[in-house]
Chains A and B, each alone.
Chain A
Amino acid sequence: MREMITMVVVLTVLSTISGGLLSGLKNATAARIEVQQLKFVKGPAIKTILEGVTNDPIADRFAIKDGKMERKFFVGKFGDKADTVVLESFGKGYGGDVGLMVAVNVKDDTILGVGVTTHSETPGLGARAKDDPGFVSQFKGMPIKETFKVTNDGGKVNAMSGATITSRAVCSAASDAGMIYINLKPQLEEKLKEFNK
């Protein structure tokens, strides 16, 4: 009996310390990790989907409070008109959250392009969502108000073969982005005016 108690106590204490340490470290590194992700993953993804942009979307970013969450938006200028916003949303993939950058044209509410950012999908299968531009290019020009679904689920998006779960994750992320966009549109237009001055 005594042995049993020691086992439980040691394991519990060890797990607790480990959990505490890790959550502390996660908080401490969160800000730095975000900067790094912006520089190496999100930045390039935004530049790819906003081809021919005339400003630096990473520098021209702003945040809007959406309920408790603070959402970040990136502004894309073409010529001297700031008419594109880029936002990030997430979908549940095979190995965790799949991040998706969605660029929306504010004038006609269509998608200018999407790009996968952070993910932990299987290399060669789900990871193709990021590596192979064919899949994400399907979203180009679609109206943002739509709910995106893969063809298996009765939607319009052709899933990547062998990576249906990742394809679904990208669709649900895109749909989420649409909802966020519609909810915040009035504030977004307000903010964009500042960039058009």
Chain B
Amino acid sequence: MAKTLTQELTKGLWEEIAPFRLVLGLCPVLGVTTTMENGIGMGLATTFVLVCSNILVASLRNIIPAKVRIACFIIIIATFVVVVELLMQAFTYPLFLKLGVFIPLIVVNCIVLGRAEAYASKNSIVFSIADGLGIGIGFTLSLAALGAIREILGTGKFFGTAVFGPSFEPFTFMVQAPGAFVCLGLMLCLMNLVGSK
């Protein structure tokens, strides 16, 4: 099963795109994607944590004792999450206010721990970076797509500017929680349709 670096990088974009193929990390996927901006912000924060924790886990993989590996991974992940939280507060405060509690919750995002346990703890640093980057970008794209659909249909706006004429009645159901589930389900269905051919 030896894969090339490019394969590792691109698998996260379609083959193993986290929210759709693995159906992991759904809490932020459903929670923050009311607008595309939120989705991208959340995706990039998660990508940063994913890449950094993958690097550290891969470089320490021979030192960390097997019995306490999960505890070690969580310390590493939690550290980077707090780093992201502080940096977001310092540089993108309005976005931090909007994402709120979902930023600290990256700690328990199963994608991050999943990649550390399933990939980075068994592979070299370079491959782990590729893996983290790929999965992270895939996650960001999924959140951005979901956010864009929900924002356009739910508020009639895209990045804050109206896209439809004044006669458009916003489909507010889409920005509420049930709308997120429906939208995710339809996207999943569409991806399976395309993928099955």
B100 at the A interface (CB under 8 A): yes
**Cα distance, A6 to B63, chains bound together (Å):** 9
Interface SS majority for chain A: helix
In the complex, what residue of chain B is closest to A37 when comparing beta carbons?
A: B93
A18 at the B interface (CB under 8 A): yes
Q: How far is the CB of A164 from chain B (nearest CB, A)?
A: 20
B194 at the A interface (CB under 8 A): no
Q: How far is the CB of B103 from chain A (nearest CB, A)?
A: 11
Chain A residues lying within 8 Å of B82, measured Cβ to Cβ, are 22, 25
Q: Which of B7-15, B19-27, B84-92, B185-193 contacts A (4 or more CB under 8 A)?
A: B84-92
Q: Which of A9-17, A86-94, A106-114 contacts B (4 or more CB under 8 A)?
A: A9-17
Interface residues of A (CB under 8 A from B): 3, 6-7, 10-11, 14-15, 18, 21-22, 25-26, 29, 32-33, 36-37, 39-41, 120, 123
Q: Which of B32-40, B64-72, B133-141, B164-172 contacts A (4 or more CB under 8 A)?
A: B64-72
The answer to whether B72 touches A40, judged by C-beta atoms less than 8 angstroms apart, is no
Given A14-B75, A18-B76, A40-B97, A3-B86 contact (CB < 8 Å): no
Chain A residues lying within 8 Å of B79, measured Cβ to Cβ, are 18, 21-22
The answer to whether B63 touches A33, judged by C-beta atoms less than 8 angstroms apart, is no
In the complex, what residue of chain B is closest to A120 when comparing beta carbons?
A: B101
The answer to whether B63 touches A123, judged by C-beta atoms less than 8 angstroms apart, is no
In the complex, what residue of chain B is closest to A31 when comparing beta carbons?
A: B90
B94 at the A interface (CB under 8 A): yes
The answer to whether B87 touches A10, judged by C-beta atoms less than 8 angstroms apart, is no
The answer to whether A26 touches B86, judged by C-beta atoms less than 8 angstroms apart, is yes
**Cα distance, A116 to B69, chains bound together (Å):** 42
